[in-house]
Structure 1
């Protein structure tokens, strides 16, 4: 029997932690959460633990840990790039109204500043809150499908811009008519004479767009997405390099991986490497029962039991390591861990969980590549003129 490949690990950093009452913890960071030292210390700690990458959350309309405000995640990632050498940096840019040229330039710039360690998390935000009971109704599925179609178009155009494709017609043909550029009935006509279709003129790709950064060190920086059901699975299988999913059992993990792989094949990417990670919220302590007690105190401060879209893993490093390896056998190649409270659970990941996995031969003992794609075993896409 072939031994499983070492796991990949990432952490999702969001202000003071993922529990809504994380700010009330005894070692919770104070007002310095909007300062450079707070963020660089977190990313440096993740790098000390040899993690593959961090995602920097920038979620609209979702207060976390009683913190309502957010810094710009791309700028935070750029600052962290100057203080780190190996770990990947994956800020969030919401795709709903993003302009392809702006996204392409920002993420490529981060890739240059970090010497090839940049990525892009691609969250979408429905116009109205979704009631879970209604999620599979046509009234929800139809606009959701349009959201993910737009996201797929955006990623396709951004990848073309990273490849240096600047021809307006070629870029326009990559997306739905009117999506990012006006539909042009006269290919040689003036763009200024065309009526807007499908969005504000500011969303168009235009020939006088700001100059893009040179081709990024990774060619295409990493594209990451979080997915819960079929539509985002399909989008991730078509567009992303890492699709992180939210199973709550080994059986769910196996079924979800199979669905993503099926969507990947349908998208014509069966021969490409696409990682399927699992998202987990973690509360970790080396003393048995202590993590559960700590979560219970945070629940009491919050006024109700904390629940999440992702499975909540509460226990010792050994117990959580058992879970990670069990779900790896179901097909997951890595995990994005959400620390319940910062900095405690981040330190527990890097200083206790990682050594536990290393002792089992399940995680690296040194960084083995200089770029994020290299760490994840993803090839650098060739430039168009090299094809």
Structure 2
């Protein structure tokens, strides 16, 4: 779709916020991750700020070394169904695993929410990062599959899901009461998929939605992840450490689209940020420091451990150079682990510095400051094409979301780089993505 390029925004909704100590803050509700009224209010606040997507992450096992909010959370698909009832425009993204789901069930669930919400659903495709391997044991498996194995299955999974979403052509249901014709048999199709992992006949037992197909979101940045994204994703969530790295990745990923007959406008890249806003820079830093002071250093290290291969940090002092730590091979998010190791080596970090340096919600960067400073930093990433927008992981909810909507959004709007109002009703309308042509209808035309 045409028009002036504008920033796209997703609100990452995780209970009390992304900061590992957010639940301890006086303003927080520790039960927020399962308090649907509060979650609905967060989505409505993001909608008042004209956000594109309210995004819900997931985990399929309890990792005692990870973020406290992961221990007590709602199923994402059920949660976005409840959010759909409380909102009118904002897109709704739910995470679901290709490693621990079945494509027919997942296709039906996400399509159902797409209908319920009037075409506002998105599926965040993940292969599941699991440093501890405990997820596999919840699904009758002895161990978590290796990275490349997971992506092989994911490649088939997405093909099955997208095929099922095209089972019915847009006008397949005719509902002719006079003739008694409920649907046109010629406009419904079996996919008859047979691969190494799946054998699915179809069709899906639900009509095609108003936006054609739910939007596909992905976060993988490894080589297999980038290839899958370039072939199938429409929104990609990244978390690069600096502007130059972001620009390099942006160009690299967009450069792969041509191989799959796609254009740059078919894929949006959102950089993860964690803004903390103050009337003055000093106030913003004070808010940041207050959160940092709530962290037990070794609790922060437990969070790091969950991403870095289940490291036993109890053997090390906080002053130990992190390069001396024995990091086991991780079966987690490969691109993130590689980026972390690069930073550790280049900056010679100490163990006690790891959480604050490596994780956005604990990091003091250009997104901690006045509304103007935060807007400036966002504009820089956007204009220099390091990102098409941002996945905002607010450190403390609802405070930081409210500050952003009330203080930063108006500045972005005044600069003409962010919408004044929604462009349409569906998530594809918001994102400027085309409605996919039904593959079976297209094949009939070719014949």
Higher CA-based Rg: 2
Give 1:226 deviation, angstroms: 1.4
Q: Which structure 2 residues correspond to residues 1-387 of structure 1 after superposition, within 5 A?
A: 5-60=5-60, 61=62, 63-65=66-68, 68-126=71-129, 128-129=131-132, 143-164=146-167, 170-172=192-194, 177-181=195-199, 205=200, 212-270=205-263, 273-304=266-297, 305-310=355-360, 312=363, 313-331=367-385, 332-387=387-442
CA distance, structure 2, for counterparts of residue 33 and residue 23 of structure 1: 10
CA distance, structure 2, for counterparts of residue 120 and residue 95 of structure 1: 11
Q: Is the 8 A contact 1:77 1:90 kept in 2?
A: yes
Q: Is the 8 A contact 2:284 2:370 kept in 1?
A: yes
Structure 1 residues 266 and 344: alpha-carbon distance in aligned structure 2, compared to 1, 3 A threshold = same
SS in structure 2 of the partner of residue 302 of structure 1:
coil
Range moving further from structure 2, 245-254 or 143-152: 143-152
Structure 1 residues 66 and 36: alpha-carbon distance in aligned structure 2, compared to 1, 3 A threshold = closer
CA distance, structure 2, for counterparts of residue 116 and residue 66 of structure 1: 29
Greater helix content: 2
Cα-to-partner distance string for 1:354-382 (whole Å, 9 max, x where unaligned): 11211211111111111000111111112
Structure 1 residues 51 and 66: alpha-carbon distance in aligned structure 2, compared to 1, 3 A threshold = closer
TM-score after normalising by structure 1: 0.82
Q: Is the 8 A contact 1:19 1:65 kept in 2?
A: no
Q: Is the 8 A contact 1:103 1:158 kept in 2?
A: yes
CA distance, structure 2, for counterparts of residue 126 and residue 239 of structure 1: 20
Q: Is the 8 A contact 1:237 1:243 kept in 2?
A: no
CA distance, structure 2, for counterparts of residue 319 and residue 68 of structure 1: 35
Structure 1 residues 158 and 369: alpha-carbon distance in aligned structure 2, compared to 1, 3 A threshold = same
Equivalences, count = 345
- In structure 1, list runs of 5 or more residues that go unmatched: 131-141, 182-204
Q: Is the 8 A contact 1:43 1:54 kept in 2?
A: yes
- In structure 2, list runs of 5 or more residues that go unmatched: 134-144, 169-187, 298-354, 443-447
CA distance, structure 2, for counterparts of residue 335 and residue 149 of structure 1: 28
Q: Is the 8 A contact 1:12 1:55 kept in 2?
A: yes
- 1:190 aligned residue: none
Structure 1 residues 276 and 106: alpha-carbon distance in aligned structure 2, compared to 1, 3 A threshold = same
Structure 1 residues 247 and 260: alpha-carbon distance in aligned structure 2, compared to 1, 3 A threshold = same
- Give the RMSD, CA atoms, in angstroms: 2.4
Give 1:272 deviation, angstroms: 6.1
SS in structure 1 of the partner of residue 97 of structure 2:
coil
Q: Is the 8 A contact 2:257 2:264 kept in 1?
A: no
Q: Is the 8 A contact 2:98 2:127 kept in 1?
A: yes
Q: Is the 8 A contact 2:111 2:214 kept in 1?
A: yes
TM-score after normalising by structure 2: 0.72
SS in structure 1 of the partner of residue 434 of structure 2:
coil
